[in-house]
Amino acid sequence: MEDIKTQMPPLTQLTEDEKMLKDAAADFADTVLKPKVMEMDEAAKLDPEIIEQFFDMGLMGIEIPEKYQGAGGSFFMSIVAIEEISRIDASVGVFMDVQNTLVNNAFLNWGSDEIHEKYLPQLATDKVGAYCLSEAGSGSDAFALKAMAKDKGDHYVLNGAKLWITNANEADIFLVFANLNPDEGYRGITAFIVERDFEGFSVSKKENKLGIRASSTCEILLEDCKVPKGNVLGEVGKGYKVAIETLNEGRIGIGAQMIGIAQGALDAALAYTQDRQQFGKSISDFQGVQFQLAKMATEIETARLLVYNSARMKENGQRFLKEAAMAKYHASEVAERVSSQAIDLFGGYGYVKEYPVEKYYRDAKIGKIYEGTSNMQLNTIAKLLLR
């Protein structure tokens, strides 16, 4: 029993490196990011200085090895950094989340030595990445995609359109999924590395969204887009594996984003209820308010434990598909409930943009939709339970 205790520290206990990055991300979020949140939300655009500072801090290449100019950190370090940034602004949280848990992870896990040498230093130092899987008729049914690729001998040609692409406005490197052999069904899907200036590639319509407004979400057009032969990530016809395995990891990142949103909403509610006076005393003195705050805090902690547990399992090489689905599902539910409750505690002030909680509520909604809807997470959990 003593050995088991030694091997299994509390999930919320961080290593020194994890704590240092968490604290650095929190300090940056509180001092640099916070004053710009509402301006970016109103403009529906990230401040370019924030993007540059993220690269300077190493937050865009956390798991990229130092030999490729990355931070040489761990997956769990990405998770705690995403959580802290999202506590202040989920738009910026998902910006770094997509870069680290989807794009960088795909390149690290599936890229050849040549691809590592060419692209990882760029992703670590100054190039934003985007992950292009979804289409108009291909959301939850991700492998119903219609984007096609043709082998032209010395290069590939891609045609089609991608929707809901996060980071599209800022990105220079795009991971695009297209079917090279439609007769093979999903086994023809291949992952291609497309650079922004490739012939036939363009970023089109930018969506006007409810929440995470500063995060760009755009349509991608592929019109006889020429891609070099060496720009296949993984193997031809194995793009479905790249997509599945990367999204499994990405869901943990979304879970981290959601607990960040929930924590930010709770922090705001705690401060407000202690400051707000009614009937001659702070409303936090009323037991009804105290109970609501206690429930919010308890829900956040349950979500955090699920997210941290799935991240630890991933790092330890254990199967984590069910746990990641649970973490993403539960954390998104908690973020929506807690942010809604925070608005209730603020009363009328919670409904206006002068106070932060209405934004937390708007930002929380996307958690139940992207990188696998809540229904898809429940489907995954149920299948694995019944297997």
Q: Taken in order 302, 303, 306, 308, is the CA torsion positive or negative? A: negative
The residue behind tokens 């829900």 is 299
Q: What is the three-class DSSP state of 307?
A: helix
Residue 148 phi, psi dihedral angles, 5° rounding: -120, 150
Both tokens of residue 58? Answer: 């190493």
The residue behind tokens 């708007």 is 362
Known catalytic residue at 63: no
Q: What is the three-class DSSP state of 277?
A: strand
**Distance from C-alpha of 25 to C-alpha of 33, rounded to nearest angstrom:** 10
**Distance from C-alpha of 125 to C-alpha of 247, rounded to nearest angstrom:** 24
Which candidate, 334, 319, 193, places its Cα nearest to that of 248? 319
Whether 218 and 169 have beta carbons less than 8 Å apart is answered as yes
**Beta partners for residue 165, in sequence order:** 218
**Distance from C-alpha of 197 to C-alpha of 161, rounded to nearest angstrom:** 17
Which candidate, 89, 141, 137, places its Cα nearest to that of 372? 141
Q: Provide the annotated active-site residues.
A: 371
